Structure 1
Amino acid sequence: MKKILIIEDDLIMRENMAELLTLVGYKINTAEDGKVGVEKAKSFLPDLIICDIRMPVLDGYGVLHILSKEVSTASIPFIFVTAKTERNDLRKGMEMGADDYLTKPFDDTELLKAVETRLKKSDLLSKPEKAKSKTINENDLINSINKLATNSEPTIYAHKEQVFKTGDYPHYLFFVEEGSVKTYRFNEEGKELISSIYHHGEFFGFKPIIENRTYLESAEAIEDSKLKRIPKDKFISLIGKNKNVLSKLVKIISKSLTEKEQELMQMAYDSVRKRVALRLIELIPDDSDSSITITRSDLAAMVGTTSETLVRTLAELKDLEIIETDMHSISLLNRGKLMEFAKNW
């Protein structure tokens, strides 16, 4: 059964389209604005998206832009819905990569024909892809890189010890065997801005090697950590011998850029409570030892708020028995309640 996501702020129109497409055998999901639509597109992974242009919170252009940057959603066919008075906006939508458009008001036959045509074309285009050789997944990529470091002893970095600094030339690709490392930079006012945190099983520092440039940010251990260092020449040799490795790295870079866009959206639209909850869901591993060692200032920098506001939010989560805290770590007691807390804010 083909899946279709309808993103439309007009309740009646949204329900009418959903009812019709359900009747003819499609599995339907709906969203009332662009922001919700982006979230549902990533979880629902539809075969087709029907999206209004003019919507609150995030318009159709923003939806298409964000989804086109995400590997999992970039190839989903996209149909814009627009009013006659907005037809001049269609050129912009088509230039951005929309596949088709419907002009309001349209009848049932027009909608069904547009959907059927677009899904048939999508199926035809996808057939050559299915015949291609299987590319490596992320675990294979990690294993390939980890093999390069099997003969080297891990380097131990103490808490707050610098791994590299802005302006250094890269000599190694780093693989986190134990502990956690943050990458960061400073803005014009001297405020520290954390870009990423890497945990066990993750690697970092490959972009400067691929782009043949110096580091644009610094890296520091946020707890006692063991890192495997893969020499730059060995990493470049691996890329040269295996195009799948390079392809996967490009996808990871694309995913990273999309995540940064999502973070900017969260900064603009989400409350501090929701940003804190979402960041904790991301950072704390989903296993029996669900905890992370991180300073309040580091977490505040990642969320985009002050340490004082963060401490108040953590205290609220603690009172709700969602987390437990001490001077150096945060433990997650109930992931489900934390996810519900994020949804409510």
Structure 2
Amino acid sequence: MPTILVIEDNPTVRDSLVEILQLAGYDVIFAGNGKQGIHMAETRHPDVIICDLSLPILDGYVVLQILNSNEACCKIPFIFLTARTERSDVRMGMNLGADDYITKPFDPSDLLNSIECQLKKLENNRLVQLHEMQMVSELCIPESADYNPLKTLVMDRNVRRFRKRQVIYQEGNYPSCLYFIVKGKVKTFILDEDGKELITELACEGDFLGYAALLEQIRYVDTAEAIGEVELAMIPHNDFENVLANDAVMRQQVIRLLAENIEEKEAQLLKTAYDSLRKKAAAALLMVYKKYNIVDYTDVGINFSRGNLAALAGVAKESLARTLAEFRDEQLIEIRRGTIYIRDKDKLTQFCK
């Protein structure tokens, strides 16, 4: 049962909050001022904190700042509950790292929805961290365990960081190394005669980049660009060739990667050429959801720009926006603060058949 910490100095409001949360099935603990609230957060480690802004001794801003500096508490979702409605107050709270800001008087359903959303995000982050830990442990498997040359190839490599929208390699250039994505997301794309972008591949943690051009010793046929912050392990051309020359298992795995990559690109080109607008949009949404939702969590938002989605679907940005609005009206998706949430995955999948 999730534990909710309520930090509220008004006894009437505090009792009302405790009753609402207990009826919703939560274990509730509470404090009457900021100092007590910090102590309870540090000793009880609740799953979510609901904090009034105007508190005696230490106000809500100070409580949040102190908890953010505590490694054991900095990741606990923090919801401000306050009568202050000025934009500057809201902005300051969010800039300090608050996860939500609910004004009094509040609708109990809004509060419960906010808590549920924060708990889902917390669980998803835990699952992602578990997945990343598993990836790291797999990359560090000793030679005596099951041998995976593609994973051992990236161990102890120099890691280079790329900023959002920074080009990793450019169409027309010759490759000098193989890239392995340690963290982040990458897109590869080409530009048509009119300068319109078409995404040819989406890649994330655990994927290799640029191996086709490296193997064929030809120029890159597309451009790779970072989506957000990216960390890449750099594997020199000679090291890659030496492993291929001396390791039959490695050669088989690279051939398999190439075959899968070619099959995916052919399927995408066919969809771009012949599918309807709704079918293209549905396929693009599902592709991004499947590629980046590594734990198949049902409430993971798609934080992918409309321009990138349009480039992936091979349609104009305005056409994609209209189609997304239709999907939203049909309750196939939900759009909250620009983030897309898939609500009827089965129906979107039917569009793609």
Normalization by structure 2: what TM-score?
0.52
- Once residues 315 and 157 of structure 1 are traced to their aligned partners in structure 2, the CA distance between those partners, rounded to angstroms, is 33
| Counterpart AA for 1:190 | G
CA distance in 2 between partners of 1:212 and 1:247 (Å): 19
- Of 331, 334, 337, the residue aligned with 1:324 is 334
Residue 151 of structure 1 corresponds to 156
Q: Deviations over 1:117-170 (max 9, x none)?
A: xxxxxxxxxxxxxxxxxxxxxxx9995233222213532211101111122221
Q: 2:250 aligns with which of 238, 241, 245?
A: 245
Which of 275, 280, 283 matches 1:275? 280
Q: Note if 1:294 corresponds to 2:304.
A: yes
TM-aligned CA distance change 1:154 to 1:337, over 3 Å: farther
**AA paired with 2:275?**
D
Matched, 1:213 2:218: yes
State the alpha-carbon separation in 2 of the partners of residues 256 and 142 from structure 1: 23
Describe the shift of the 1:248–1:332 C-alpha distance in structure 2 as closer, same or farther (beyond 3 A).
same
Please give the alpha-carbon distance, in whole angstroms, between the structure 1 residues aligned to 2:147 and 2:189.
23
Q: Match for 1:172 among 172, 177, 194? A: 177
Partner of residue 339, structure 1: 349
Structure 2 portions without partners, runs of 5+: 1-144
Distance 1:177 1:280 in 2: 24
What is the match of residue 315 of structure 2? 305
Matches within 5 A, 1:1-345: 143-285=148-290, 286=293, 287-288=296-297, 290-325=300-335, 329-343=339-353
CA gap of 1:314–1:246, structure 2 versus 1, over 3 A, is same
For residue 255 of structure 1, give the secondary structure of its aligned residue in structure 2.
Answer: helix
Q: What count of residue pairs does the alignment treat as equivalent?
A: 204
Deviation readout 1:90-125 (Å, 9 max, x if unpaired): xxxxxxxxxxxxxxxxxxxxxxxxxxxxxxxxxxxx
Identity of counterpart residues, as a percentage?
A: 32
The offset of 1:273, in angstroms, is 0.6
Change (3 A) 1:205 1:312: same
Counterpart of 2:240, as a letter, is: F
In structure 2, the residue corresponding to 1:167 is in which secondary structure? coil
Whole-Å separation in 2 of the counterparts to 1:331 and 1:179:
20
Aligned mates of 1:142, 1:290 — CA distance in 2: 33
How far apart are the structure 2 equivalents of 1:154 and 1:293? 25
Q: Deviations over 1:153-204 (max 9, x none)?
A: 5322111011111222212211122221111122222222221111122111
Aligned CA RMSD, in angstroms, stands at 2.6
Contact 1:171 1:232 in 2 (8 A): yes
Closer, same or farther in 2 for the Cα pair 1:205/1:318, shift >3 Å? same
Check conservation: 2:150, 2:250, Cα contact below 8 A.
no
For 2:186 and 2:151, locate their aligned partners in 1 and report how far apart those are by CA, in whole Å.
17
